[in-house]
Structure 1
Amino acid sequence: MADVDPAAVLDSDPWFASLDRAIAEAMKAAGRVRRHAAGSAVYHLGDDPNGLHLVIAGEVRLLSYSEAGAQMVALVARAGDWFGELSTIDGRERPQDAIAAGEVSLFSLDQPAVERIAASHPAIWRAIGMLSCRHQRQALAYIDTLVSLPPRARIAAMLAGRLMRESDGAVLVSQDQIAAGVGLSRQTVNATLRDFERRGLVRRGYGRIEILDPAALRRIRAGSMSAQAAA
C-alpha cells in the first residue's frame, strides 16, 4: 500500500477543519499512523476503548451480530471516515468488531491521548459528540431509505453507492457481505445478482461485482423510491 500523508486527509475532513485550532494541533501531535493487515482487527466486540480512528487508506468494516449470531455490516469506513467515537466518549466496551478489509492505514488517537487533550481542552468532548451525532443521523437516514425499498432496489442502491467510492468500476464485496449489509438472505441476493447479470448490469466475480451499467442500478433505486412516494 502506497504511503498517504495523514495531514492531507485530516485537513480535507470537514469535521476536523471545524475544530478549535489548538485541539486540532494537539490531535495531530498525539496521533499515530498504524497499518493493519487484511483481516486483522482494529478492535473486537467487548474490547475496552482504544481511542478514535481515521481511515487514511483502505477500508474497515464495522460488524454487528444478531442474537442468533448472524453477522451484519453496520458500516464500511473508508478513506476520510472516522470511527470508534462511541466508546471513546463513554469509556465502555466496544459494541462492534472493526476488521480491516484489505490492507489499511489509520490515523489513531489512543484513549489516553484523548483524555490528556481533554484535560487542557475539554471542548474536545463536545466535538467528538458532534461527530457521533453526525454518524447517527447518517445511519438513521440510510436505514429509513433502505428498509422501505424492495429487495432488488436495496441491492441496486448498495452497489451504486459503493461504486461512488471505488474508482475501478467494480465493488469489492461478496454476496454474503451484500446480504448482511442490506438485511436479505444470500439466496435472494444471489437470485437478484443473476438477474442483473443476465440483463447486462453487472458481472459477478469472486469477492467482487463489476458494475457494467451504474445508471441502470440508480434507475432501479430511484424508480422504487418514486413509486413509494406516489403511493
Structure 2
Amino acid sequence: MSEFRNLGQLPNVAWLSIVSEAVRIRILQSCVLREAERGKVLYRFGDAPDGLYGLISGCIRMDTVQSSHGPTMLSLFHSGSWLGEVELFSRMGRLTTLTALRPTRYAFLSNAAIDAIAREAPELWKALGNLAAEHVSLAVAAMDDLAIRSSRIRVMAILLRLCGARIENGSGGIARELDVTQSELAQLANLSRSVLSDLLNEMEIEGLLSREYGKLTILDIKRLKLEL
C-alpha cells in the first residue's frame, strides 16, 4: 500500500488485517494527519472520547490519575501503536492521559469516521475489539511484572514493556531509546531510586543498556528477554 507510506507502520498492524482490504483502505483514507510538540497532551483523563490515535513517529506517554497519589506513568508507546479504542465502545470518559514526549506525528480517526465505516462494515468493531484485547494483554503483563520477586528481573521486564518488546505480536514498533527518568522507572518497578540505580549500573556494565539524563537506551533486547 504505497499510497500510505506517510503513515509509517500504521497500515500493517494486526487489528487492521481482520477487516477487508477495501475497509482497511477506507480507514486509512479517513485518517487526518496531525503533529504534536513535545509536552502536548493529546487527551486527558475524563475527556469525552473523540476517536482513535495512531502513532506515526515520536513517543507517547500514557498516565493514569485514578490513584490518590496523582498521575502515574503506565507505559510508553512508539511508532505503529494505535491508542484510544477502549472508550469507543461505551463512549465513557477517557481512562488515561496521553502526552507527547518528543515531536510526534500521528493519524487521527474521528468518532464520526469510525461510526460511518462501521455502519457499512460492522467487522470494524471486531477489529477494534482485537486491538483492545492486545492492550489488555499488555496490562496483564504489567501486573505480572510487579509480581516478579527478583528486582533485577522485574526491572528488565518493565524495560522490555516500555520499549514495546514485552509481548509477542504487538502492533506497536520497538524503540530502543526510552524517554524515562530513573524516578519514573523506580515508581514503575516499586523500588527505591538507590536500589534501581545499583541495578541499572550492573546492567550498564554488562552492556545491556546505557544512560543519559532523562533517557535510557536498550542495547541488547535479546539478552533481556533471555533473562525473563
Scaled by the length of structure 2, the TM-score of the pair is 0.80
- Can you list the C-alpha shifts for 1:68-101, whole angstroms capped at 9, x where unaligned? 3243322322111111001122101001100111
Give the deviation of 1:218 after TM superposition.
4.8
- Can you list the C-alpha shifts for 1:54-75, whole angstroms capped at 9, x where unaligned? 1111111111135332433223
Find the aligned partners of 1:67 and 1:159 in 2 and give their Cα distance.
Answer: 22
Alpha-carbon contact 2:45-2:65 (below 8 Å) kept: no
Aligned-residue RMSD, C-alpha: 2.7
Gaps of 5+ in 1: 223-231
Q: Which has the higher contact order (CA 8 A, sep 6+)?
A: 2
> Partner residue of 1:228?
none
- Can you list the C-alpha shifts for 1:192-212, whole angstroms capped at 9, x where unaligned? 324444666544320123456
Question: Closer, same or farther in 2 for the Cα pair 1:78/1:149, shift >3 Å?
Answer: farther
Give the deviation of 1:9 after TM superposition.
2.2
Aligned residues: 216
Question: Closer, same or farther in 2 for the Cα pair 1:124/1:216, shift >3 Å?
Answer: closer
> Partner residue of 1:78?
78
Question: Closer, same or farther in 2 for the Cα pair 1:20/1:187, shift >3 Å?
Answer: same
Please say which structure displays the higher CA radius of gyration: 1
Amino acid at match of 2:213: Y
Q: How does 1:129-148 map to 2 (within 5 A)?
A: 129-148=129-148
Question: Closer, same or farther in 2 for the Cα pair 1:28/1:156, shift >3 Å?
Answer: closer
Alpha-carbon contact 1:89-1:128 (below 8 Å) kept: no
Find the aligned partners of 2:221 and 2:132 in 1 and give their Cα distance.
Answer: 31
Alpha-carbon contact 1:62-1:96 (below 8 Å) kept: yes
Question: Closer, same or farther in 2 for the Cα pair 1:160/1:96, shift >3 Å?
Answer: closer
Residue 191 of structure 1 pairs with residue 198 of structure 2: yes
Amino acid at match of 1:121: A
Give the deviation of 1:14 after TM superposition.
2.1
**What is the DSSP-based 3-state SS (H/G/I as helix, E as strand, rest coil) of the residue aligned with 1:22?**
helix
Scaled by the length of structure 1, the TM-score of the pair is 0.79
Q: How does 1:29-108 map to 2 (within 5 A)?
A: 29-108=29-108
Find the aligned partners of 2:83 and 2:16 in 1 and give their Cα distance.
Answer: 13
Find the aligned partners of 1:197 and 1:113 in 2 and give their Cα distance.
Answer: 47
